[in-house]
Amino acid sequence: MDLSITQLAKQYSLNVETLRYYERIGLIPEVPRRANGNRFYDEKLQKWIEMIVCLRHSGVEVKSLIEYVDLIKKGDETLEARKEILQEQERQLSEKKKNLDISINRLKHKINLYETGEIKNNKSYYEEYEIEKDIINKKA
């Protein structure tokens, strides 16, 4: 069943302007229009947009998605290149997750210090957590 842009936006919890933006930057193939100028999305386009939405929700940046979509349009000879893009995105997300886990653990420890009263001991958490080393590693 064909959907209007409003119906499609509702189906995928998107803003209509986001769909128009995706179309404008080439993430969505050209969308056909009815005689009155309104866009309509057939099942093939709906599946395409579903793929875009899923990848965006997986943390794939728009810039990488544009490259990925361009490769899809070139056909099966780009399968390996597409896989590499997704692997790089996975690597980046894993790195972010690792850093978030470190931050969460530090905050839990700090909260525990408040709960136990140890916060009053004036310990150097900068040294304990080796913050300087983290800063240097991020610059490298």
Cα–Cα distance list, 102 to 47, 74, 95 (Å): 37, 41, 11
Q: Counting Cβ atoms within 10 Å, is residue 39 exposed (0-12), middle (13-18) or buried (19+)? A: buried
Q: What is the mean pLDDT of residues 10-32?
A: 93
- pLDDT tens across 52-101, in order? 999 999 889 999 999 999 999 999 999 999 999 999 999 999 999 999 99
Count of other CB atoms within 10 angstroms of residue 5: 18
